Amino acid sequence: MTVTANRQSPATVPPAPPKARKRRAPLWTKVTTALGAVLLVASGGGLVGGSVLIDQTTDSIAVENLTGDAKKSAAEGGNTLEGPIDMLLMGVDARARWADDALHADTIIILHIPASHDQAYLISVPRDTEVEVPPFAPSKYGGGTVKATEAFYWGAQNGGGWGGGAQLLAKTLKNMTGISFDGAAIINFGGFRSVIDELGGVNLCVDQQVTSKHMVYVGGEPMFLADARKTGKATKPVVHKVGCRAMEGWEALDFARQRYGLKNGDYDRQRHQQQLIKAMAKKAANGGVLSNPIKATSLIKSAGKALVLDTGQIAITDFVLGLKDVAANDMVLLRTNNGTFAGNGKGRERIDETTQAMFQAVKDDNLAQFVLDNPGVVANEK
């Protein structure tokens, strides 16, 4: 790793391990949060209560500046919903929304909605991508060459907090991809289980059998491995077997977190996380949630407990209602680096030419044509 003399080298201070929004139909479509990822887009038969309900139920969502210098400028179409929308979605694994700063962004997703507002694209950025992180005064970080997942960590240090972590990661990605962001979201995986359970679970397809590295059964009940060890009781592995089925919150999240033991490692995990996001959006759209004010209120409040949000200068209610034509079935899952590890010879990943061209297509709002010309970037959903 090369770091100039006036830069702080990440290698000298090892990171502490993590502790714990052209109408096609007269339908109201919500932007809701899912895996974390997330702002998810799903069409429905009309949310009972409309903007009044949204206003009343989004108070639980923490709002903070997560994009900093990477925020889309007015010249780029920022602070309006008239053009394309680009959101940065970051997933962290914490026991509380405002946990300490010893966290990495283990999930990094760029959500792109074209100016036509009739499609949504999810692009996962590999966590181990080598990136050049600029200096960041709020956390006293001098800049350096690290993995993308670590940019969040360095921005959160010395009082930078989650907001600082998100801002530094957003700036790093803007420098790498050229994409500025309308807003962002931090999703706490630790608090997202209740959101999936509020939906009544989701349907997912397991394409490769994998044994969980995070959870085991104790007396037939799922439990985090660290907690299970404290009981002193016998444990049984949690094995995600091949097949399509309905999953409870804990099972869906645990499956989407696995990368060890999968053929393509983190790339398969990225794909599974994208699938979870889409599954949650579909379930919200088709499960009667939107037409039931009690269910809708409970869902949004649960999401708020697991979410920190930045919608720029646009109010959350306006943001949600302004993206009413994007449907869950229109969510396209895209993959980087042809879905396989693209090493740079130093144990980290590089972004290949096709992926760089895909990022440019996002910036130019020409992603639909790019996908037609490069069908290989579309992820297999099973």
Q: What is the per-residue pLDDT for 218?
A: 97
Q: What is the per-residue pLDDT for 39?
A: 37
Contact predicate 93/196, CB 8 Å? no
> Is the pTM for the entire model greater than 0.85?
no
Q: What is the per-residue pLDDT for 38?
A: 35
Structural domains in the chain, sorted by start: 10-199+288-377 (3.30.420.590)
Give per-10-residue mean pLDDT for the chain (382 aa).
Answer: 38 40 29 33 38 53 88 87 89 66 84 88 90 96 95 94 95 97 85 82 94 95 92 96 95 92 87 85 71 70 77 69 61 84 79 94 96 90 62
Residue whose C-alpha is closest to residue 90's, from 301, 308, 302: 308
Q: What is the per-residue pLDDT for 7?
A: 38
Q: What is the per-residue pLDDT for 211?
A: 97
Q: What is the per-residue pLDDT for 104?
A: 84
